[in-house]
Amino acid sequence: MEITTEETLMSPQKIQISNYTYDLPDEKIAKYPLGNREESKLLVYKNNEITERGFQNLPEEIAEGTTMVFNNTKVIQARLIFYKETGARIEIFCLEPLSPADYNLAFQAKGASSWKCIIGNLRKWKSGVLKMSFTYEGEEQFLCAEHVENLDGAHEIKFSWNHTELSFSEVLELTGRIPIPPYLNRDTENTDLVRYQTVYSKHEGSVAAPTAGLHFTDSVFSRLDKKGVKRAELTLHVGAGTFKPVKAEQIGDHEMHTEHIQVNRESLQKIIDAGNQIVAVGTTSVRTLESLYWLGVKIMSGKENPYLLEQWDAYSLDADCSVAAAYQAIIDFMERENQTLFNAATQIIIAPGYTFKVISGLVTNFHQPQSTLLLLISALVGEKWREIYDYALNNDFRFLSYGDSSLLMKS
C-alpha cells in the first residue's frame, strides 16, 4: 500500500523506499573526474524553477551575505591489501578507530592501533597474523594485522608495525589505497589521490569524500569572497555506511550508520550570526548542521548524552527554540566543560516530513536511487526532486561522486 503525503508527514518511518527511485543507466555514472574541477555542470533550482549553469558560475547564484558551510574532512587511504602465504588476497577496510578511539590520537599512534574494519575474503583468513612489507627511507618495514573479535557485522583489527617512529597516519599513506566508491567498478588510480579530496580537506577520518566539495577551486573561492559570501567549516567523518543500500521496504526498518562530528566555537558563532542565510556544501554538512541544532536542544532540555543524536531523535525532541539558542547552548556547554572542540556523533536520518532548522539551500551532486541521500533531497525540495533528476538525466548531467553538481534552494 502506498503511503500518502499526509501519512508521511505524520510518520516518516512508514516511507516506502520504492517510491524514491529512478532509472540510472550506467553510462550516466561519472567514472572519472573532469580535468578541471570547476568545469562541471551546475543545475540550479530556485523559486520552483530549474536552470542550467556551469559550476564556475556558482558565485553568481549565491546571495551576498550568505554563509556557506563546508565539511573539511579528509579521506584516508583506508583500504589495505594483504596477501597470505597461500596467495589469498585479504582486503581490510578501516572504518573508525577503537584504541585509541579519538581520531587524532589514533592517527598519531606509533607502533600499534586498533580499528573497526570490514574484511573482504574473510573466509580465507581463518587465523594467524597478516603481514605486509613496505619501504620507508630505503629500508623494508612491516605492517601486521591481527583479528581481535567480531563486532556486529564488522571486526576489530589490531595493526602493528615495526618502525615505531612512524605514526599510523604515515603508515596508511605508505601502504593504503584511497577507497573510491564501489559503483565506479574500477581500481584506485593515481589521479584519485588528489581528485577524491576537496582542496580544503584538513582533518583525516573519512572513508568517502564529501563529494559536493570536489568542484570548488581557489578561483571559485576568490569570486565567492568578492561577492561577500562568508564561509564556515566543520567536520563530519564520512563512514562507509554512506554507500549502504536501503534494503528495508520502510525507512523505519533501516538502521542509519553513525558518523562523527567535530566543530569549534568560531564556526558555531558564524552560523548563529548568519541567521537564515546558510547554504550547506554537501549532504554531510547538512547532516552536521541539523544534528548540531538537535544536540543543542538536548543540552537545553537536560537530556542524557548530549554527544549522540540517535536516528529518530529529530522527530521526537521539542523544537520550540531558535537556531541561535540551540547553537549558543552548545557554546555555553563547551565553556562549562572547558572544551575547545565539540565532538559528537550522529545517526540522523533526514527524510520527507523533516523540517529543516538551519539551512536554506544545498550544493550537492546527484545521488543513487533508493538511497537515504535521495530522501534528504526530497525532504528539501519535495516532489520536485523527480523533475530535477529527470532534467539532469535528459540534459547530459553526470551522476554520483565524480559527477556534476546542483544548487537546491529550500522549497
pLDDT in tens, 159-196: 999 998 999 999 999 999 999 998 999 999 999 999 99
Counted residue by residue, the chain has a size of 411
Q: Of 273, 291, 266, which Cα lies nearest the Cα of 350?
A: 291
Work out the pLDDT band at 411, boundaries 50, 70, 90: confident
* Cα 45–chain centre separation: 22
Neighbouring CB atoms inside 10 A of 372's CB total 24
CATH of span 5-74+196-409: 3.40.1780.10
Give just the sign of the alpha carbon dihedral 310, 119, 211, 167.
positive
What stretch of H or E contains 137?
Answer: none
Higher pLDDT, 221 or 239: 221
Quote the pLDDT of residue 319: 81
- How far apart CA 315 and CA 309 sit, in angstroms, is 11
Q: Where are the domains of the chain?
A: 5-74+196-409, 78-176
Neighbouring CB atoms inside 10 A of 340's CB total 7
Sheet holding 79-83, edge to edge: 79-83, 89-99, 112-120, 154-161, 139-151, 130-136
* Cα 411–chain centre separation: 23
Quote the pLDDT of residue 245: 73
What's the rounded mean pLDDT across residues 118-137?
94
Phi then psi dihedrals of residue 191, to 5 deg: -60, -30
Q: What is the CA radius of gyration of the chain?
A: 22
pLDDT in tens, 328-350: 999 999 999 999 999 999 999 99
Burial of 325: CB neighbours in 10 Å, binned 0-12, 13-18, 19+: middle
pLDDT at residue 1 greater than cutoff 60: no
Quote the pLDDT of residue 384: 97
**Crossing angle of helices 283-301 and 372-381, rounded to 10°:** 80
- Give Cα separations from 54 to 79, 212, 280, 406 (angstroms): 34, 14, 19, 10
pLDDT at residue 208 greater than cutoff 70: yes
